[in-house]
Amino acid sequence: MKSAILCVGSELVLGEIVNTNSAWLAIHLAEIGLETIRHETVGDDEPRLIDSLLHSVSDADVVIITGGIGPTPDDITRQALAKAAGVPLVRDSGALAHIEHLFAGWGRKMSPSNAIQADFPEGSTIIPNPRGTAAGFRMPLGRSEVFVLPGVPSEMKAMWEESVRNILLGKGNGGAVVTGTVNCFGRGEADITDQIKDLMAPGRNPSVGDTAEDAVIKVRIRATADTRDAAMKMIEATKADVKRRLGDCVFGEDDDTLHSMVLRMLIERKATVATAESCTGGLIAKLFTDISGSSAAFIQGVVAYHNEAKVRLLGVPRELIEKHGAVSEQVARAMAEGARAAASTDYAISVTGIAGPTGGTPEKPVGLVYIAAASARGVESREIRLRGTREQIRDRAAKQALNLLRMVLISS
Amino acid sequence: MKSAILCVGSELVLGEIVNTNSAWLAIHLAEIGLETIRHETVGDDEPRLIDSLLHSVSDADVVIITGGIGPTPDDITRQALAKAAGVPLVRDSGALAHIEHLFAGWGRKMSPSNAIQADFPEGSTIIPNPRGTAAGFRMPLGRSEVFVLPGVPSEMKAMWEESVRNILLGKGNGGAVVTGTVNCFGRGEADITDQIKDLMAPGRNPSVGDTAEDAVIKVRIRATADTRDAAMKMIEATKADVKRRLGDCVFGEDDDTLHSMVLRMLIERKATVATAESCTGGLIAKLFTDISGSSAAFIQGVVAYHNEAKVRLLGVPRELIEKHGAVSEQVARAMAEGARAAASTDYAISVTGIAGPTGGTPEKPVGLVYIAAASARGVESREIRLRGTREQIRDRAAKQALNLLRMVLISS
């Protein structure tokens, strides 16, 4: 079974909003064995929508349409579907009552324009919307089954989970495609793919490939099997093989991040951590505290942007800054030690560097960063040289510092 | 002139990566008068790529293709183009020398598989890639001009800026569509649209609409005119009108953010700022330091995640925490005052709250946040009650604190 995704909205086709619905739907379709063959996006334009609709039904068994079922005049999906199918729109009294009920609950009177949201192409089946007034519907068109959902991601996702997924599962199509990743940091992409070249051979199932995303190399594994469980088992076996080959540069799987894994390691050891940041400006603290429960390990962070702040908050000796400069391995080490002492934590990490684009010199160019990790066993530090935009340099510097702490944790 | 965008890549059509190229290209095409009528995304599958290519050239004057021109066997865009046009691939010796030169610069030997990146459909014109080995090309197909660019966003964007944009401008197509926004915070969407209802009438040029993005209401203005300059002038006039009507809740335009505008206001006044964060965990410091040049105003930040850190780093009296709790207006005020005193800055802002999803109580539920802004004139503070995920609560809390400082700056 093949699926096609068709998103409707001028704001999407003009690029004012990035379309995230297509990717989300494709992943969820794959999980129940439907391979997506195409995404299309068109504006609020009836002839073009009908053209893309006919294109979709020409080669897909299932077409998922999102958007264009609101109450305003530029919402044209229900009309286009009716026209393409050659059927009239029919008002559904149950749907109308439901919309009136929603408005009453909000203490507002339903405006007459909302009544159109109770109109559906004749022969279609309503898909309830638990979160809004825009009910969806499904109907046959040509040899395809077409599902129409709202464009608002939260509503679309809720309706997928509560209705569409089960309807498609019920179709009993065989086969599931599941994707998993093994996430690596600290080794080059070529170096990593060299170790798993045989797994990356074309035609293998699970297939293995890799992508680099912001300096994290993700080994991507895609398994096709009769059931989701069987595909999951295949994914797990290949994951284990990849991890065995790649060793310490593997920090996690799937959605695992360096900061989530470091935090998990700290919590497992009942250990605490503090941060001392200069060029990353709070990014590492922000990453730790993105995670609910981080207070079990993360005690405090200092963003010592000015030299005086490094002296004041971290006890870095002023002479050290004067002698070596704020961007130096010595100062990075003193920041980590100072952060650990000030917060009485088991571990501390520090970053000082030049994120650019300005502020570089021939001796200390943009991208020069020093990182350090302090523990009861002393201080580990590194000089790193990064390239890219300010955002990239800050991101990579934070990751390098987190990875340094990860290596310290592994070896202790 | 109409354009269509066609993105090639199995990772895109399977949803493993969200496609951001289409939106970026659509905005940049609109700026030079090309209306995008459709986005399509297909996998690394030659028949499907040719099918979508023919669909695109059926009704677009310009087709932009991204992806599928790397050196691996699943890169099939150049072959598909040649097949669709009925022409052979021809090796370009200049392009080959360029790729060999790039590899030599990296101290590596070009692998034979890279040579395919010097093959182009007969009759096409090469588009240089300043950032990588994958040169693009353009060629006529049917009544359209087809442009092929790499899928890597940074390379695609550089080639657009350096080549494609100028080629398309040179085509002298009339008409330009330009989009601009007026960005507001701190008032409800309905309240804002009420003030500009007449500007939002259908058919107006510039058209005016609004979107809510992470609690920022953006009034979106889209002007169509003969030239980009004329459209820009129309945008400016409507922007001025919208700003006049909406007053203080307007903090900026287009890409302006609350933190970039607050930082700009501080730098203009030669004023300094410090931050004291609990539940936002460094997010505000991170936002300030995202901006190059932030060191002119941002001195230091403290992430006082544990109570002890609030005492130690910010001098919050321990009794205050014991009496009112760490999440209280009193503690938020003491944090802001303490941050300002510790850093000797002109201003300081603080946040303390419960970001969730755990940690709430009936008296102090998830989403309860206190913010404060300290200046020489004293301390302003607010209790706010937020809903949403942890990420949303942290984002909104940071924005509320930044906006409080913005209001203090405006009134001083």
Query: CA A88, CA A76: separation in Å to the nearest integer?
Result: 14
Encoding tokens for residue B27?
Answer: 């905005």
Look at B303 and A300 and tell me if their CB atoms are within 8 Å: yes
**Class level of CATH domain A258-410:** alpha beta
Long-range contacts of B222-230 (CB under 8 A, 24+ apart): B222/A14, B222/B177, B222/B178, B222/B179, B223/B177, B223/B178, B223/B179, B223/B180, B224/B175, B224/B176, B224/B177, B225/B175, B225/B176, B225/B178, B226/B174, B226/B175, B226/B176, B227/B176, B228/B31, B228/B32, B228/B33, B228/B176, B228/B178, B230/B176
The encoded tokens of residue A109 equal 């009177």
**Nearest neighbour of A309 by CB, restricted to B55, B300, B306:** B300
Q: What pLDDT digit, counting tens, does each position of A175-210 carry?
A: 677 889 999 999 888 889 889 999 998 789 999 988
Tens-place pLDDT, residues B335-390: 999 999 999 999 999 999 999 999 899 999 999 999 999 999 999 999 999 988 89
Other C-beta atoms closer than 10 Å to the C-beta of A172 total 8
Q: How many residues does chain A have?
A: 412
Query: To the nearest whole angstrom, how far is the Cα of A138 from the nearest Cα of chain B?
Result: 23
Across the interface, do A22 and B30 touch by the CB < 8 Å criterion? no
ipTM for the whole predicted complex goes beyond 0.90: no
Q: Given a cut of 80, is residue B212 above it in pLDDT?
A: no
Predicted confidence at residue A172, as pLDDT, reads 44
- Residue B51: closest CA among chain A residues belongs to which residue? A55
More confident residue, A294 or B103: A294
Q: Out of B14, B39, B358, whose CB is closest to A41?
A: B39
Q: Count CB atoms within 10 A of the CB of residue B357.
A: 12
CA B244 → CA A37, B210, B212, distances in Å? 49, 16, 20
**Distance between CA A46 and CA A369 in Å, rounded?**
55
Q: Give residue B143's pLDDT.
A: 92
Residue partners of B79: CB distance under 8 A and separation at least 6: B46, B89
**What's the average model confidence in pLDDT over B132-148?**
94
A189 or B255, higher pLDDT = B255
For A326-339, how does the pLDDT look when each residue is reduced to its tens digit (9 = 90+)? 999 999 999 999 99
Helix (H, G, I), strand (E, B) or coil at A1: coil
What does the pLDDT read at residue A170? 59
Do residue A18 and residue B18 have CB atoms under 8 angstroms apart? yes
Q: Which of B328, B262, B322 has its CA nearest to residue B296?
A: B262
CB-CB under 8 Å, A15 with B24: yes
What is the residue-averaged pLDDT of chain A?
Answer: 93
Tens digits of per-residue pLDDT, A45-69? 999 999 999 999 999 999 999 999 9
Q: Are B62 and B1 in contact (CB under 8 A)?
A: yes
- In this prediction, residue B112 has a pLDDT band, given cuts at 50, 70 and 90, of confident
Residue B255 above 50 pLDDT? yes
The residue with tokens 């917060």 is A343
pLDDT at residue B317 in the model = 97
Interface test with A, best of B278, B303, B393 (most A CBs within 10 A): B303
Specify the fold of A2-170: Molybdenum Cofactor Biosythetic Enzyme; Chain A (3.40.980)
DSSP A291-311: STTGGGTEEEEEEE-SHHHHH
Residue A346 C-alpha, separation from nearest chain B C-alpha, in angstroms? 15
For residue B173, what pLDDT is reported?
A: 53
Burial letters A88-116, b for 16+ CB under 10 A, else e: ebeebeebbebbbeeeeeeeeebeeebeb
| pLDDT of B172 above 50 | no
Query: What does the pLDDT read at residue A173?
Result: 53
* Residues B38, A27: C-beta atoms closer than 8 Å: no
CB < 8 Å to B201, chain A: none
Contacts of B199 (CB under 8 A, 6+ apart): B208, B238, B241, B242
| pLDDT tens digit sequence for B175-205 | 677 889 999 999 888 889 889 999 988 789 9
Place of tokens 């609709």: A53
pTM of the full structure: 0.78
Residue of B289, B327, B344, B346 to mutate, testing the A interface (most A Cβ within 10 Å of its Cβ): B289
pLDDT bucket at B171, cuts 50 / 70 / 90: low
| Residue burial B387-412, b: 16+ Cβ < 10 Å; e: rest | ebebebbbbbbbbbbbbbbbbbbeee
Residues A126-158 pLDDT 10s: 999 988 888 999 999 999 999 999 998 989 999
The partner residue sitting opposite B15, judged by closest CB among A27, A43, A299, is A27
Please indicate whether, in this complex, the C-beta atoms of A41 and B22 are within 8 angstroms of each other: yes
A253 close to A183: Cβ distance less than 8 angstroms: yes
Closest CA to B280 of A25, A56, A288, A179: A288
The domain spans of chain A are 2-170, 176-253, 258-410
**Does the beta-carbon distance from A48 to B40 stay under 8 Å?**
no
Strand order in the sheet with A250-253: A207-213, A216-225, A176-184, A250-253
pLDDT of residue A233: 96
DSSP run (H or E) holding A251 = strand A250-253
Whole-number pLDDT of residue B286: 98
- Name the residue facing B301 among A220, A282, A342 (closest C-beta): A282
Separation between Cα atoms, residue B303 and residue B355, nearest integer Å? 14
Q: What is the 3-state secondary structure (H, E, C) of chain B?
A: CEEEEEEECHHHHCCCCCCCHHHHHHHHHHHCCCEEEEEEEECCCHHHHHHHHHHHHHHCCEEEEECCCCCCCCCCHHHHHHHHHCCCEEECHHHHHHHHHHHHHCCCCCCHHHHHHHEEECCCEEECCCCCCCCEEEEEECCEEEEEECCCHHHHHHHHHHHHHHHHHHCCCCCEEEEEEEEECCCCHHHHHHHCHHHHCCCCCCEEEEEEECCEEEEEEEEEECCHHHHHHHHHHHHHHHHHHHHHHEEEECCCCHHHHHHHHHHHCCCCEEEEECCCCCHHHHHHHCCCCHHHCEEEEEEECCHHHHHHHHCCCHHHHHHHCCCCHHHHHHHHHHHHHHHCCCEEEEEEECCCCCCCCCCCCCCEEEEEEEECCEEEEEEEECCCCHHHHHHHHHHHHHHHHHHHHHCC
Closest CA in chain B for residue A279? B289
Residue whose token pair is 């295949």: A234
Q: Which amino acid is at A122?
A: E
Minimum distance, in Å, between the CA of residue A347 and any CA atom of chain B: 16
Q: What is the CATH number of domain B176-253?
A: 3.30.70.2860
Q: Is A171 helix (H, G, I), strand (E, B) or coil?
A: coil
The two structure tokens encoding residue B51: 């099918």
The Cα of A348 is separated from the nearest Cα of chain B by a number of Å equal to: 14
Mean pLDDT of B280-302: 97
